[in-house]
Amino acid sequence: MVMACRVINKRRHMGLQQLSSFAETGRTFLGPVKSSKFIIDEECHESVLISSTVRLLESLDLTSAVGQLLSEAVRAQNNTYRTGTSTLLFLVGAWSSAAEECLHMGVPVSLIVSVMSEGLNSCIEEVVSLEVPVHHVFDHIDNTKTFSGLETFSVSLGPFLQIPSDTGLMQKEHDLKDVAPQPLTIHNLSGRPVKSPQLFRPQAKVEADTNMSQTPQTLKNSLLADTCCRKSVLIHSRHLNRTDNSQQISKPDGFLEQHGAATPQAYRCNDLVELEVGLSHGDDSSMKLVEAAAQLQYQNVRTQQGSCAMPFMFDISRIFTCCLPGLPESFSCVCPGYITVVSTSSTTLIKELQNQPIRVVLIEGDLTENYRHLGFNKSANIKTVLESMKLPQDSSEELWINRVLEILIKFNVNLILAQGNVSEHLIEKCTHSKRLVIGSVNGNVMQAFAEASGAVQVAYITQVDENCVGNGVCVTFWRSIPLDVVDTVDGMAIMLKTEGINLVTVVLTSPVTAHMQSKEDRFWTCASRLCYALKEQKVFLGGGAVEFLCLSHLQILAEQSLSKGNQACSGWLHNTSSWLASSLALYRPTVLQCLANGWHKYLSTLIYNTANYSSEFEASTFIQHHLQNAIDSGSPSSYILSEYSKLNSGIFNSGISNKLGQIPRVYDIVTPKIEAWRRALDLVLLVLQTDSEIITGLVHTEINSQHFFQLWRPLDLAATGRFLHS
């Protein structure tokens, strides 16, 4: 176990301090250029290389209540989305520090909770302006152009995050032909098409009657151009290009909402390769495997559907990984069917079964003598008449195994797949009788074989009849293993296939065993990003763009609230009788500023981790410079889009050579990112309120129960607080 070391001040909110301490351990996992950690088991002295928040928390000592809550939040995020955990962990730490800062400045807990929640909700509404629609990306999937077949692009992670050339993540320069200039049509709020002005001018106010006939001279160096030379399309969005003199409408919660009449603009993504490159975040090797799996699944579905083709949905529940440590990286591949590892003692059996269709039986639970299905109740009315007639355990298992073999022989079954554990004795007997038994098979794999082979899953082997047996399954070796590495591989990889099966296995290999878990995690992260992007049909502009928009939006709200708060305080004694209302106006700017500081820390760490800056202070200065520019522009979202449009010729391309031609956009998935923000703030506010209830409860006891305190002197109140936290 690894301990998170930090001095805890027991006079302050211990829960918030513990959250900050735990979050500090995962700072290096933020961003695409991650610093991996070696975790060594103190008991067996085995080591594993980790580069994800989930694996880190599994290795930390999280026995406290706060640690358990943090672990549950991260696991819930990972189990649902398989991405966003690093963001969640960092924001937990940043906003814990923000809540502590508010407490030190005397802000009431109820106002911290209220304003922080409202602030995050306001940010979530604001970042809709950076959503990019994703439509019809599989329309041209049959073209020869693929992510795997392309020369790798030079990867830029957006205007606020670049990968330096010496990190090893820089990809080969890719020459693209100029895209023919096209007149762009956009729609105003009434829906009538108008010619577009110059794209993404940084000025806050756009004159509708100026440069109406202008068209962009070239899209080669602009991120408006598709990474695969497809034409860009602009669609309507009500959130962009707000004017300086736009009307401000006061919302019930006290925030100010701006409504501008300027013409909106947005991007669109219609190409699978562009989407995959944008979602890879520099991990092109994992995304190539994801793309190959999607292509194979698409072909399988189209073959089955024929002319009655339904819209294709990328289904990662029918994709599985088979990890083979000890093999070279070049052995990683994507194959149709199910690939798994069996004992080398089955080599002779596999040779006899391959190249012929065999019959299969599917067992839902364990394949053991004593297995009973969930909910089974043993009859209470059975009594033992003669104790001496009871058979020994070995004889009982032998009788059961003989019964199983009789059933398999009767229905000519040579393959048994069990979802649970399998009796070792049964496996040996079946191997001798030329029958292959595989246990611990995923439920979705069982379902896929049931659909393709016609088999029916049963709970007990004794339930098998002719209607339950599947047909047409083929067993073969996955591939030959070089003699120089055959001794380093445990077991033997085999492939199970049948015609029409909707199942894809991604084989992951690595010569370094400790690196295997990290490689599998990275694959599933890329697969989940692509899956959710296609499912939601939208993505965010990435590389810190949405976080920067949140930062600038909160900064503007804080300044507006400060101005409004000063006006309220000036007339407080005469016009206001509500203490809560006056406190809200007084403390709102402070809380919003602290919440914004959390975003500022996030972006500074994100940029610092790319090794473009020598310190976080330098990265923070960089962010502050653009923050001021965005606020001065009057429309932070338009400012961000403007920086995207001139990515190759501005200060945002630090660390990237100006010689590079096309730099593709980076994308983030929408719902997982927003849920990571929500979970982070919900956890911080839960711990804040719990800490406050404990502390205020103790203070209330000291003030109002002085004459009873002598009776409770043996009770250590500090120890009680520690107990409630543990």
Closest CA to 361 of 430, 273, 258, 266: 430
**CA 685, CA 679: separation in Å to the nearest integer?**
10
**CA 122, CA 54: separation in Å to the nearest integer?**
29
Closest CA to 636 of 248, 242, 259: 242
For residue 146, the model assigns a pLDDT of 57
For residue 646, the model assigns a pLDDT of 67
pLDDT digits (tens, 9 = 90+) for 111-162: 999 999 999 999 999 999 999 999 878 776 655 455 554 443 333 344 444 3
For residue 565, the model assigns a pLDDT of 57
**CA 441, CA 322: separation in Å to the nearest integer?**
12
User: Are 590 and 107 contacting, i.e. CB atoms less than 8 angstroms apart?
Assistant: yes
User: Are 177 and 229 contacting, i.e. CB atoms less than 8 angstroms apart?
Assistant: yes
In whole numbers, what is the pLDDT of the chain averaged over residues?
Answer: 75
For residue 591, the model assigns a pLDDT of 95
Give the Å distances, CA to CA, from 649 to 161, 540, 662: 15, 23, 12
With a cut of 50, which residues of the chain have pLDDT below it? 1-3, 5-8, 144, 149-266, 386, 388, 568-577, 648-661, 699-726
For residue 512, the model assigns a pLDDT of 86
For residue 584, the model assigns a pLDDT of 77
For residue 40, the model assigns a pLDDT of 81
Helix, strand, coil shares, percent, the chain, to 5: 50, 15, 40
For residue 305, the model assigns a pLDDT of 72
Amino acid in position 403 = R
**CA 290, CA 207: separation in Å to the nearest integer?**
45
The partner residues of 193 in beta bridges, in order of sequence, read 187
* Residue 578 CB partners (closer than 8 Å, separation 6+): none
What is the DSSP code (8-state) at residue 653?
A: G
What angle (nearest 5°) sits at the alpha carbon of residue 687, between those of residues 683 and 689? 115
